[in-house]
Amino acid sequence: MTLSEQPRLIIFILVLILSVAHSTETVAQHDSTYFLSYTDQITGRFYFSQKYTNLLVEDGNKKLELDYRPNTTLNMGIGASYKWFTLNIAYGFAFLNQEKEKGDTKYLDLQAHFYGDKSNIDLFGQFYNGFYLAPEGKGTTNNSYYLRPDLKVREFGGSYQYLFNHKSFHSEPHS
């Protein structure tokens, strides 16, 4: 991560912290015949995941299309949720990822989801370095992947939802 990218990451983390403060409202009483709440129980998970993003470059006439993709790993992880907080930790183990011909991608893909009584906040940040051109053989003479270790993607986004009918609807995640 370069020095010029650090202020953006700091701003992103500050927004996450402020969002947590806003969205951790106490859970209101609810009609148990409408839905069940498991907020007082720790729920766990074992999972596999793979992050996807791409960089699509087209000419003005859409006659030429370059589809650059990162060589992301298949990750194996564990996670737990309790009340409003969820934590997932995953890693791309070598035995799950054998596609070295697609180059080396360094990436960090962050997601945060906050569920309050009246609102939901979803945030994400993506930092990708190193891409390959799909499909195999495009841009090369030896039927291999054309690698672009110099390509970078920095992407930030989010959404905010206000629940107008929050007394009848409960969006907190329950695994």
Residue 26 has pLDDT above 50, yes or no: no
Q: How many CB atoms lie within 10 A of CB 171?
A: 13
Asked whether the beta carbons of 92 and 74 are under 8 A apart, the reply is yes
**In the prediction, which pLDDT does 118 show?**
81
The mean pLDDT of 147-175, rounded to a whole number, is: 79
Number of domains, the chain: 1
**pLDDT tens column, 9-19:** 667 666 666 65
**In the prediction, which pLDDT does 32 show?**
64
Q: Would 167 be classed as within a structural domain?
A: no
**pLDDT tens column, 49-86:** 988 888 888 888 877 889 999 999 999 999 888 877 77
Distance CA 123, CA 109 (A): 11
The mean pLDDT of 102-108, rounded to a whole number, is: 89
Q: Would 175 be classed as within a structural domain?
A: no
Residue 20 has pLDDT above 60, yes or no: no
Q: Would 55 be classed as within a structural domain?
A: yes
φ/ψ region of 22 (left if φ > 0, alpha if ψ in -120 to 50, else beta) reads alpha
Q: Would 110 be classed as within a structural domain?
A: yes
3-state secondary structure of 37: coil
Q: Would 41 be classed as within a structural domain?
A: yes
Q: Write the CB contacts of 24 (distance below 8 Å, at least 6 apart in sequence).
A: 84, 114, 116
Q: Would 153 be classed as within a structural domain?
A: yes
Q: Would 46 be classed as within a structural domain?
A: yes
Q: Would 171 be classed as within a structural domain?
A: no
What's the DSSP call for residue 143? S
**In the prediction, which pLDDT does 53 show?**
86
The mean pLDDT of 101-122, rounded to a whole number, is: 84
Which structural domain range is residue 57 located in? 6-162
Residue 148 has pLDDT above 50, yes or no: yes
Residue 27 has pLDDT above 50, yes or no: no
